[in-house]
Structure 1
Amino acid sequence: MGAEKGKKTPDDILLELTEDIFRFHTPEKLPCAIFEREGHRETHRIESKTFAYYLCNIYLRETGRAIPQGSLDTVVRQLAAQAIHNGPEIPVFSRVAPCNSNGIAVDLGNSSWDSVVVTPEGWGMDSPQFPFTRTAAMTALPFPDQSGKMEELWDFVNVRSEEARLLLAAWIMCAFFQKMPHPILVLQGQQGAAKSTTAKMLLSLVDPSAVPLQSLPSSERDILIAAQNSWVLAFDNIRRLSPETSDSMCRLSTGGGLRTRKLYTDCDEIFFNATRPLIFTGIYNICKEQDLLSRALVIELEAISHHQRKTESELMARFEEARPRIFGGILTALSGVLRELPQVHLSSAPRMADFAKIGVALEQAMGLKHGAFLEAYAANINQAIGASLDDDPVAKAVMDLVTEEEEWKGTASRLLKALSRFVSTEAKRSSDWPKAPNRLSNHLRRLAPGLAAAGIDVSFDQNIGGEKRVIGIAPKIGEEMEQEQPPVPAAEVRIEPGASGENLENTDTSEPTAETTDDCLPKIAKKFSLEDFKL
């Protein structure tokens, strides 16, 4: 037997050692593998370094020799081919995943691959493994404490008003939901307001990372890579977002997909079609684009006085001791949200409708005053839009023009001249002031949603006396103003006990079915049942 085994090539030996590995592919055609190790199951991408090291290790234990690089490459390609062409299609998840029909699974990220399952009835540790994948930067969440309270978080983060705390708590709840738009959390304030520290604490309760805060990516490729390696992305010390970066962040927040050419290839692409919770930190008014602001949740942090300030090491030591209790309290609140969510219906809704429903469900679960969340959310959006318009010279000039003339119509060239009367020479020299008519027209299109919320209607391409490309500016009145209010008033929210509400977790159309995958399973590995991995 030993002689026969000695005749086998390293490729043959390693392939035999991988017979029990469950191979499958994701909806994006990424080859993955699930295998048992040290009493638990792990999921890895077949083409990852972690999986390659695993193959090297099992070969070394079996033969006492190192696997030749060529043999390793051959086996990896073979396993990837089997996963893509013969394996079932199963979505994989990072940190959070839908569970059954109305639950959420959370990967604790520890060496035992433990997970917590949250349902409307409560939460608890769960021994069966879910198809979570991990990256090198991912670190562990604490084991949650059943007796913990989420309110203990306010002893550590620099968020003082009850309205801001409610909005921040709703953002935390939303960060545990897959397959839905996520509002962009913007933490802003002057130097010394603990913006970065607050962001790091929030990350440590949702998706802790070895590198929690990162600088703003310079390209869409870098944004895509960051999104593939973390569930929550936090960008620190942002001064200003370019329109292109702003558009990419909008797609990442609410969905739309990112794609770029794969390195060292001519036609292969890598793409990402999912949403991510985002955190921005900066000093003041870092989100200027109205499209981005409509997706943002802006929390203003007050400066911390010298006699209240503590060293970061002292504060983080206290926070680490409290983290299991706070995390347990968050899971308890999340269970309450899942319980209340089917009964929440909005008669009309803001841009981030799913977030609004989660916020109202949290309000109900916490026993707060009816309408408290939507009132806070409406005030937050109005304040953010107002601040962005006040900081934009074109918006201020448009408002001054409407105040003076009420209604104005004409070409972009004439409008640029008309608006120039209301700005200083210094403002005209700034990069924020358009130097050409076409730039003014583009700028106004981006400002239009914010100006509409402020009561000013901007219309394009009207025809007056045969003149084309005419811009119209006029104040909104009556019903037009009511339609532009961001969220619905609290009185318009209907809470209907027993109603069958939309389940936000049941939106993944790529979920595998037994009919499409069971036929492939025996060809790959009979040891693992697909029932173990149904979501």
Structure 2
Amino acid sequence: MEKEINKNTSDYEEEEILNEEDNATGVWKVITIIESANLDIFLDENNTLQVLLDQSTGKIVELDSDTFKNWVLYQCYEHDKKPPGTESIIKAVKIIDTKTRLKTKNTKKLYVRVAEEGSGVFWYDLGRKAVRYDKNGWAIKDAPVLFRRFNTQKPQVEPLQGKGLDDFIRLINLSSRDDEILLKTFIVSAFIPDFPHPILVLHGQQGSSKSTTSRFLKEIIDPSTLKTRSIAGKQQDFTIAMASNWAMFYDNITNLTVEQSDQLCRSSTGEGVGQRKLYTDKEEVVFNFKNILGLNGVNCVANKPDLLDRSVIIKLSRIPESLRKTEKEIESTFEKMKPYILGECFDIASEAIKIEPSIKLKKYPRMADFAQWGFAINEVIKTGGEAFLQAYENNILTQNEKAVEVNPVAVAVMNLIKSDKVGEITGSPEYIYKKLISNAKQYDLDYMRDKYWPKNSSWLVRKMEEIIPNLEKLGISVSHYKQGGKRWVNIADKTRAKVDINSFTGGSLLVKDGWMDADFINEEIRNSYYEFDNEKEFVTDEINVDEIQF
């Protein structure tokens, strides 16, 4: 309804009323033009409205994006031969947003590069077409699923039947047969989505082609104009990058903060990452990533136990000068083999999809799904599932060693228990803390300057909790418990042979640091002899075995 303009209305107020009417007309014109285009507008898995702009290319944009608003601007110009006001477009988009949310039941999931359509049916986005692969093989087709496509993404080359994976592995100067098995498995498994993939950690001296290897892996799995990148410091930047890539490879990393390690862990295993849509928006969007991730550096940059548990560590050897080639030569060789690498990956993936459901492992490591798929993949390529499991187990042992090497508490515990004559120590957290520091001084190690070293005994148990699984793999057990109203910590070297106290017929048994070297000593004996003085040192150094009643 038009607003009435009376004789008492000022010229300024009259102009405002007419502008409101013109604006309203402009908004409805824009809405009419948008709706007449019969666009597919739907809600994605994050409750964000998306628009399928072009059926032929599968181009999808957010309704509230600059890209869509620019498209609207052009459509209006084509219709009226003059552009609408910016405010009219903003209001029109807002009205369509509200109207669609209230009325639509049209929801669709969007994918980045790789998708699972149903049980055992997968799609890989080439750009315009896609590869469909299942247990019966693979073919290039139009995909029924919708892929997000971003400006940084590149179309993938069409795969060709043939062999290329072994040729690619020969381009890389790997240090061991185990590393060859694990790298092949990592590459092929990257085409199987929706399970936690391990983070690939490449390390080696300068000149070992860490950066080149990372770039090639990105080109095989998820080509982009940005082949490698630096790791983001801010959570928002990290989340945006993860949401717009299937595979991410971080180059020349020297150090990871605790926050960055946690971000990588969460993005590898599919734990939720929450983020506001806008700084001023109270609504939070939760992303559940299970991305393909890789890191490289001169040293093994994974330094937190949780990150190491989720990693595959591969060492690259320095390439001798006599075998080096120019970047142009290597790139040319790689580009020629890339279609065949892809073709072979889809061949292997198809066969692995066929046999994976029937595989049951005797035991599963931390990254259980990767072990399951890795077994299937290596059965297909004739390496053998058991050979893969052995290579992976060896790698896990390396992970544990690395976790201990970079953790000052773990190093201190290892040095203390290995230097102990009996190989088992029990005491209060305060006592163990003092022993660790005292032992460190004997080895000229200054743990107190390390930022990961607990500042007091109260934090010691918490820090020990982080590395208990890694120490256990190396034969060192660490436990803590309450008894008699006090807290106790026990450290034991399980690789040492135990001496059965029942084999003694007399004499005395040395008690080292307040703990007899025997799990079999009953609680009564422990309660009788383990008493602290005011200095929290054990009063009794020797126990006469003849006095002990068995």
2:157 maps to what in 1? 142
Return the match for 2:124 from 88, 106, 110.
106
Contact 2:274 2:287 in 1 (8 A): yes
Is the counterpart of residue 371 in structure 1 residue 386 in structure 2? yes
State TM-score, norm by structure 1. Answer: 0.81
Structure 2 residue identity aligned to 1:434: P
1:283-334 deviation digits (Å, cap 9, x = unpaired)? 1131121111111011111111222222223311221222222222222221
Q: Judge conservation of contact 1:114–1:129 (CA < 8 Å) in 2.
A: no
Deviations 1:225-265 (A, max 9, x none): 22112111222222222223222221111122111344332
Using the TM superposition, name which of 88-97 and 337-346 deviates more. Answer: 337-346
Match of residue 130, structure 1, among 140, 145, 154:
145
Q: Equivalent residue for 1:217?
A: 232
Does structure 1 residue 28 correspond to structure 2 residue 65? Answer: no
2:428 to 411, 416, 419: 411
Distance 1:399 1:128, change over 3 A: closer
Contact 2:58–2:147 (CA under 8 A) maintained in structure 1 = no
Give the aligned partner of residue 197 of structure 2.
182
The letter for the 2-side match of 1:445 is E
In structure 2, do the counterparts of structure 1 residues 54 and 288 end up closer, same or farther at CA, with 3 Å as the change threshold?
A: same
Q: Is the 8 A contact 2:403 2:467 kept in 1?
A: no
**Secondary structure of 1:422's match?**
helix
Q: Give the letter for the 1:132 counterpart.
A: F
Tell me what 2:173 maps to: 158
Q: Is 2:434 the counterpart of 1:420?
A: no
1:107 to partner: Cα distance: 0.8
Assess if the C-alpha contact under 8 Å between 1:148 and 1:324 holds in 2.
Answer: no
Shift of 1:350: 0.9
Give, in angstroms, the shift of residue 96 of structure 1.
0.6
CA distance in 2, matches of 1:159, 1:65: 62
Quick one: which amino acid aligns to residue 69 of structure 1? T
CA distance in 2, matches of 1:333, 1:51: 40
Q: Which runs of 5+ in 1 are unaligned?
A: 1-6, 479-535
The residue that corresponds to 1:308 in the other structure is 323
How far the C-alpha of 1:50 sits from its partner, in A, is: 3.0
1:471 aligns with 2:489: yes
Distance (whole Å) between structure 1 residues aligned to residue 48 and residue 208 of structure 2 = 42
Task: Pick one of 59, 70, 77 that aligns with 1:60.
Answer: 77
Runs of 4+ in 1 over 4 A off after TM superposition: none
Residue 337 (structure 2) aligns with: 322
Deviation at 1:477, TM superposition (A): 7.0
Shift of 1:268: 2.4
The answer to whether the 8 Å contact 2:404/2:470 transfers is yes
Alignment match, 1:81: 98
Alpha-carbon deviation of 1:386? 1.2
Cα pair distance change 1:185/1:11, threshold 3 Å: farther
Is the alpha carbon distance of 1:282 and 1:11 closer, same or farther for their aligned partners in structure 2, counting shifts above 3 Å? farther
**How many Å apart are 1:10 and its aligned residue?**
5.7
1:160, CA displacement in angstroms? 5.2
Give the deviation of 1:148 after TM superposition.
Answer: 4.2
Q: How many angstroms apart in 2 are the aligned matches of 1:340 and 1:308?
A: 40
Residues 1:263 and 1:146: Cα distance change in structure 2 (over 3 Å): same
Q: Does 1:292 align with 2:307?
A: yes
Q: Cα gap change, 1:40/1:94 in structure 2, threshold over 3 Å: closer, same or farther?
A: same
Q: TM-score, normalised by structure 2?
A: 0.79
Match of 1:12 among 29, 51, 62: 29
The answer as to whether partners of 1:173 and 1:358 remain within 8 angstroms in 2 is no
| 1:118 shift after superposition | 1.1
Distance in 1 of aligned mates of 2:39 and 2:105: 11
Contact 2:26 2:84 in 1 (8 A): no
Further displaced range: 63-72 or 132-141:
63-72
- Structure 1 contact 164–299 (Cα < 8 Å) conserved: yes
CA separation of 1:144 and 1:63: change in aligned 2, threshold 3 A: farther
Measure how far apart 1:128 and its partner are.
Answer: 4.0
The 3-state SS of whatever aligns with 1:394 is: helix
Paired with 1:57 and 1:341, the residues of 2 have a C-alpha distance of: 51
- Which of the pair has more CA radius of gyration? 2
Supply the AA of the counterpart residue of 1:47.
D
Higher RCO structure (Cα 8 Å, ≥6 apart): 1
Once the 2 structures are TM-superposed, how far is the Cα of residue 374 of structure 1 from its aligned partner?
0.3
In structure 2, the gaps of 5 or more residues are 1-23, 497-550
Amino acid at match of 2:407: D
437, 448, 453: which one aligns with 1:433: 453
Structure 1 residues 399 and 263 mapped into 2: Cα distance closer, same or farther (>3 Å)?
A: same
Deviation of residue 83 (structure 1)?
Answer: 4.2
Task: Give the superposed CA RMSD.
Answer: 2.3
Note closer, same or farther for the CA distance 1:240–1:104 as it changes in structure 2 (3 Å cut).
Answer: same
Q: Which residue does 2:87 correspond to in 1?
A: 70
